[in-house]
Structure 1
């Protein structure tokens, strides 16, 4: 899909998904903690099937924009 002048790719979406996941985890200890289980379950329901998808992770690990983040392990 198109986001203004940027065409979203799998590798460009992953950091945003990780940020969303971190934000959801922060709900656990906030005043909105009662919503945490519901939001977490909805997020996992939609994202979890793709978490281990090889093409997603390959595109993420091989994208030079993310090499500075130290994401490549010695095993990669």
Structure 2
């Protein structure tokens, strides 16, 4: 787009590109809105839920889910 603007002599800045189609943060936020802001509830045995909760606390996936509001702060 910048090359085309220069060739045509257009005196305008190139608009910023926002790749929301593939941005996981945007997709998680959309999921939160579809769930009306409710957090996800983990099903299964308590031992498995506890293990999964510890795993989510120590990695980036858990951080993304918390930021999107899909899982609560524990």
Larger radius of gyration: 2
TM-score (norm 2): 0.33
TM-score (norm 1): 0.32
Higher helix share: 1
Higher strand share: 1
